[in-house]
Structure 1
């Protein structure tokens, strides 16, 4: 068992907000997914391969497990959530709640992004 999975198991029991998981998605090899937090059954996370040059700060949202077709939400300079797409088809009433929570916790998201990538750029 590698370090990331050991860390995940120990963090899961202590309800940590920062988990590193190894995933294998449709033959793309192992990807790493830092999970920022959960909202009910929805995961709020970003991928470690967010392109080069680094994309503007954003999160992915999917229910249950990370998905290549997750909903994408940009974080603006003012801490607002800007819906890029709703590929995971989250119902509108749930999406509004998720957006409000993401906006309320934008400092947590920005810190995790900066800790992981070392730089932040904003979409707007």
Structure 2
């Protein structure tokens, strides 16, 4: 599992192929044996990308 960040004893990480079916985007955070899952709202994190993802494909 790739670790994204280590900060003040917290470890932020993700599993590359989690869930069947795949779950919405989220990260895991652990510290001292406890773990939490944080769901990511891509519209809040990267609003321009969600607009691009919904845009129709233009062919030339």
TM-score by length of 2: 0.59
CA distance in 1, matches of 2:14, 2:35: 10
Highest CA radius of gyration, 1 or 2?
A: 2
Q: Is there any run of 5+ residues in structure 2 with no aligned partner, and where? A: 47-60
Say which structure is richer in strand. 2
Structure 2 match to 1:61: 29
Residue ranges of structure 1 left out of the alignment (5+ in a row): 1-32, 80-105, 107-124
The match for 1:70 among 32, 35, 46 is: 35
Q: Which runs of 4+ in 1 moved over 4 A?
A: none
User: Once the 2 structures are TM-superposed, how far is the Cα of residue 63 of structure 1 from its aligned partner?
Assistant: 1.2
1:40 maps to 2:8: yes
RCO higher in 1 or 2 (8 Å CA, sep ≥ 6)?
2
Q: Give TM-score scaled by structure 1 length.
A: 0.32
